[in-house]
Amino acid sequence: MRADRLVATLLLLQTRGRTTAAEVARELEVSLATARRDLEALAAAGVPVYPRPGRGGGWQLVGGARTDLTGLTAPEARALFALVGPAHSARARPEARSALRKVLRALPRTFRAEAAAAADAVVVDPVGWGEQGRSRPALADELESAVVRRRRVHLRYASRTGGPSARAVDPWGLADKDGTWYLLAGTSHGPRTFRLDRIQHADVTDEPAHRPDGLDVRRLWERTVEEVEARRSTLRATVLLDAHLLPILQDRMGRHCSPAGTHDDGRARAHVTAPTALDVARHLAGWGGDVEVVEPAAVRAELARIGAALVRRNTAVT
């Protein structure tokens, strides 16, 4: 509707102070002619906006006229943007993108940077790595605040292979991977990812954190996942199972189980991946006779070995 567009144009003017018709057209996704008509309509309606001709010109509000969204505190503004998500995300609905743009422009200037940062602070990745999902950890709130306020964090972190160590990091964002939480951060050795359940202590300092210009946290997370998947998927096995069991296997193995059609006997065919044949066999051993491994032979051999060991250990002595 034109009324909505005029409000959005006014809010854009008050945010930037001065803008051009081309910038309005690009931001509001309208034609250049429509943007010019809307700016002229605001001036005709008595809004103190006027054009400045020549190089560096455009349209400007007289005296910094404003239409602030009052009543929102800084934490409330951050919470609103964190809940809805990034306004520019291609995954967000058009209505959400439009609403967030309008709200951001209407916020008091002191709230805008943190509200915009909150929208990008958390990446939600619903596809698990075959682990049981968890609730949001309490530490996530503290680290999300550090991301939004751009404050350096000192961590005491226990890695998967070594003991605890002290780390000074610049927090860039959080990722919720089906209930398992990660901190994406810059370090003296480059970008790193830290599991929140391995962080023993986090101290948010008053030191400013460095954040690279143009950082895309979602894309950084996607690259991280791609690298992990490449390491975890070096061996692929083909299995057969009843079709009604396939969704359960997918839920248990996450990205490491993918449908691969239907077998001649009606059973579902699927591919499962892991670093080694033994890892695949361990994932499938609990399924017993419900899953048949077609290939490779190495996985079948490991399953047979596991089965024989179970028989030896659990056969009653007579």
Closest Cα partner for 270 from 287, 301, 291, 252?
291
Question: What gap in Å lies between CA 198 and CA 111, rounded to an integer?
Answer: 32
- Is the pLDDT higher at 60 or at 55? 60
In this structure, the answer to whether residues 136 and 166 fall within a common structural domain is yes
Q: Is 255 helix (H, G, I), strand (E, B) or coil?
A: helix
In this structure, the answer to whether residues 59 and 140 fall within a common structural domain is no
Would you say residue 110 has pLDDT above 60? no
Domain-located, residue 260: yes
Domain-located, residue 226: no
Domain-located, residue 273: yes
Evaluate whether 18 touches 62 at the Cβ level (below 8 Å). Answer: no
Query: ω before 296 within 30° of 0 (cis)?
Result: yes
In this structure, the answer to whether residues 211 and 141 fall within a common structural domain is yes
Which of 119, 151, 185 corresponds to the end of one domain? 119
Q: Is 262 helix (H, G, I), strand (E, B) or coil?
A: strand
DSSP per-residue letters across 46-73: T-SEEEE-STT-EEEEGGG-----TT--
**Domain range for residue 238?**
233-314
Identify the CATH number of the domain in which residue 248 sits: 3.30.70
Q: Is 23 helix (H, G, I), strand (E, B) or coil?
A: helix
pLDDT single digits (tens) 137-147: 888 888 988 88
In this structure, the answer to whether residues 82 and 31 fall within a common structural domain is no
Q: How many residues does the chain have?
A: 318
In this structure, the answer to whether residues 252 and 273 fall within a common structural domain is yes
Identify the CATH number of the domain in which residue 8 sits: 1.10.10.10
Domain-located, residue 163: yes
In this structure, the answer to whether residues 241 and 261 fall within a common structural domain is yes
Domain-located, residue 281: yes
Q: What is the pLDDT of residue 1?
A: 46
In this structure, the answer to whether residues 170 and 142 fall within a common structural domain is yes
Q: What is the pLDDT of residue 79?
A: 52
Closest Cα partner for 125 from 245, 220, 263, 267?
220
In this structure, the answer to whether residues 52 and 84 fall within a common structural domain is no
Evaluate whether 207 touches 152 at the Cβ level (below 8 Å). Answer: yes
Query: Beta strands 235-241 and 291-295: pairing type?
Result: antiparallel
In this structure, the answer to whether residues 169 and 212 fall within a common structural domain is yes
From the DSSP assignment, how many helices (H) and strands (E) are in the chain? 11, 13
Q: Scan for tokens 């089965």, then name that residue.
A: 307
In this structure, the answer to whether residues 210 and 237 fall within a common structural domain is no
Would you say residue 307 has pLDDT above 80? yes
In this structure, the answer to whether residues 133 and 115 fall within a common structural domain is no
Residues 6+ apart with CB under 8 A from 83: none
Confidence class of residue 266 from pLDDT cuts 50, 70 and 90?
very high
Q: Which of 106-120, 156-170, 175-189, 231-245 has the lowest mean pLDDT?
A: 106-120
Which of 64, 82, 99 corresponds to the end of one domain? 64
Structural domain count, the chain: 4
Which of 173, 189, 216 corresponds to the end of one domain? 216
Domain-located, residue 223: no
- Is the pLDDT higher at 90 or at 197? 197
Read off the pTM: 0.49
What value does the mean pLDDT take over residues 217-236?
80
Query: Beta strands 122-125 and 164-177: pairing type?
Result: parallel
